[in-house]
Amino acid sequence: MLLRRLIRPVTLILGLVIAGSTQAHHSFAVYDSSRSVTVKGVVTKWQWTNPHAYLEIDSRDAAGAIQHFVLEGTSINIMIRGGWRSSMIKAGDQVTAVAAPSFNDERVGLLLEVTFANGDKRDMPIPAGYTFKRTP
């Protein structure tokens, strides 16, 4: 119930767009905007596609077992305009990602930011991305 109270304002905020706006590819209501997860691991796939890009990471959990994460970005057109390039990430890179987890599966998330192997950090230009909270 608390979660529902938290995500409702986000839905409303996402609805406040420029008059006549086109729709986003899909609703981000599948993701929990009230918290974030930090995923550190090795890139297994960097998928540079529309409608959205995907970053897949293998990360070791506390017990040492490998967990596979599927993190969704936004349209690569919006990413290109925001300064992203496909060459910034490749399979095998060590990265740290911050994501809003899906309500269904902690290992699926909306990618909010990535820290690359060289230490550079870049935000994902998600529409109304500021509505997604970063939590420790």
Q: Which two tokens stand for residue 88?
A: 């910034």
C-alpha pair distances (Å), 70 with each of 33, 56, 88: 17, 5, 18
Chain-centroid distance of CA 63 in Å reads: 25
**87 counts as binding other proteins under rule CB under 8 A:** no
Q: State yes or no: residue 105 binds other proteins (CB under 8 A).
A: yes
If one asks whether residue 131 binds other proteins (CB under 8 A), the answer comes out as no
- Among 85, 94, 103, 135, contact with other proteins (rule: CB under 8 A): 103
Only segment of 28-36, 82-90, 91-99, 115-123 that touches other proteins (CB under 8 A): 28-36
Residue 91 interacting with other proteins (CB under 8 A): no
Q: Does 77 bind other proteins (CB under 8 A)?
A: yes
Give yes or no for a contact between 112 and 99, defined as CB atoms under 8 angstroms apart.
Answer: yes
Q: Is 9 in the site for other proteins (CB under 8 A)?
A: no
- Please name the helix (run of DSSP H) or strand (run of DSSP E) that holds residue 45, with its range, or none: strand 37-47
Q: Parallel, antiparallel, or unpaired: how do β-strands 66-72 and 121-123 relate? A: unpaired
Residue (29 or 121) nearer to other proteins, CB? 29
User: In angstroms, how far is the first alpha carbon of the chain from the final one?
Assistant: 22
For binding to other proteins (CB under 8 A), which residues are involved?
A: 3-4, 7-8, 11, 17-27, 29-32, 47, 49-52, 54, 56, 68-70, 72, 75, 77-78, 80, 102-105, 107-108, 127
